[in-house]
């Protein structure tokens, strides 16, 4: 009962996103679902690193592997005990710092190589030139590109329009691509990224149902291609006095194009940890693609 109430309330919060509110290429992540006959490795993995600006450590920054979250110490250092099922280590960018990106696509994470027992992951951040308490973010949802004609329109019309819009806002403006970046045509992710570059804004991505590998055996493998382009499917970051959370609630149930709105227990446990580090009373903005508790009618 408590889970249902929580998910329903989360759905109401996330609905607010639809309102207008004023470094090299990364390798694909390992397959989450092992081939038949191959055992899933649970080998332990120790991740250590430092979050810093120009070598000076930043204290109290959240670092996660998608399972557990730790905070950096006074020197900006952290140790995260993980295992071989984790795909990425990523940082929740604190307020007052720029969003690392590659041609606009947010790069706040590092992939974990398969078979790794120890890993060092440092994150270099840059202080913003101005206070970010007042800021703007733009939601760009459902481009749903299915062919090159759609791509041409996005690149020559929508992206330039967004660039002009962003020029009217403050320097701390960012954007969220809220899912269905393409329509099952993963080769068009490259065109989406070109559009992001044209926009001149740092972009965070949400996974949508048309961004899933619909030939995957289970939900665990359905986000493989998306992750190879955009990193983890759930994470958080901060800008000004607002805490932003991106969730992956498009749960693939097997048959082609069958999915429901659902948040697995692993993600809920991560979310509980994430919010435990947020000051009570802080505004939290949640971004996800579909209603959280869609029910049987979506099956």
**Residue 209: pLDDT above 60?**
yes
Kind of pairing between the strands at 105-106 and 109-111? unpaired
**Backbone angles phi and psi of 272, in degrees to 5:** -60, -45
Asked if 270 contacts 277 with a C-beta cutoff of 8 angstroms, the reply is: no
**Residue 24: pLDDT above 90?**
no
Output the pLDDT for position 139. 96
Output the pLDDT for position 158. 96
Output the pLDDT for position 256. 75
CA-to-CA dists, residue 206 to 71, 126, 226, 237, angstroms: 25, 24, 10, 13
How many angstroms separate the CA atoms of 236 and 223, rounded? Answer: 18
Asked which of 94-98, 141-145, 235-239, 271-275 is least confident by mean pLDDT, the reply is: 141-145
Q: What is the mean pLDDT of the chain?
A: 88
How many angstroms separate the CA atoms of 227 and 159, rounded? Answer: 23
Output the pLDDT for position 229. 98
Kind of pairing between the strands at 62-64 and 174-177? unpaired
Output the pLDDT for position 30. 40
Output the pLDDT for position 5. 52
Query: Total structural domains in the chain?
Result: 1
Average confidence (pLDDT) over 171-189: 96
Identify the CA nearest to 231 among candidates 58, 23, 38, 84.
23
Q: Which domain holds residue 145?
A: 2-298
Average confidence (pLDDT) over 220-249: 97
Output the pLDDT for position 266. 96
How many angstroms separate the CA atoms of 8 and 15, rounded? Answer: 11
How many angstroms separate the CA atoms of 2 and 11, rounded? Answer: 14
């Amino acid at each position: 009962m408590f889970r249902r109430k929580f998910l329903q309330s989360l759905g109401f919060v996330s609905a607010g996103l639809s309102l207008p509110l004023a470094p090299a290429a990364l390798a694909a992540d390992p397959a989450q679902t092992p081939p038949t006959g191959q055992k899933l490795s649970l080998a332990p993995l120790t991740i250590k690193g430092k979050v810093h600006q120009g070598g000076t450590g930043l204290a109290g920054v959240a670092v996660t592997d998608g399972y557990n979250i730790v905070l950096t110490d006074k020197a900006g250092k952290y140790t995260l005990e993980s295992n071989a099922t984790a795909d990425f280590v990523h940082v929740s960018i604190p307020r007052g710092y720029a969003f690392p990106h590659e041609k606009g696509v947010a790069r706040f994470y590092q992939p974990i190589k398969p078979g790794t027992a120890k890993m060092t992951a440092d994150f270099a951040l840059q202080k913003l030139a101005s206070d970010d308490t007042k800021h703007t973010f733009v939601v760009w949802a459902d481009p749903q590109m299915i062919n090159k004609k759609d791509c041409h329109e996005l690149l020559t019309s929508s992206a330039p329009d967004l660039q002009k819009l962003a020029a009217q806002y403050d320097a701390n403006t960012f954007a969220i691509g809220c899912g269905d970046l393409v329509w099952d045509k993963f080769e068009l992710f490259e065109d989406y990224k070109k559009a992001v570059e044209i926009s001149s804004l740092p972009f965070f991505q949400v996974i949508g149902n048309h961004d899933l590998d619909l030939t995957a055996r289970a939900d665990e493998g359905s986000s493989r291609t998306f992750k190879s382009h955009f990193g983890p499917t759930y994470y958080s970051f901060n800008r000004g006095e607002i805490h932003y959370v991106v969730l992956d609630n498009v749960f693939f149930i097997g048959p082609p194009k069958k999915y429901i709105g659902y948040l697995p227990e692993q993600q809920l446990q991560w979310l509980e940890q994430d919010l435990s580090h947020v000051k009570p009373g802080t505004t939290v903005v949640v971004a996800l693609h579909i209603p959280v508790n869609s029910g049987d009618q979506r099956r």
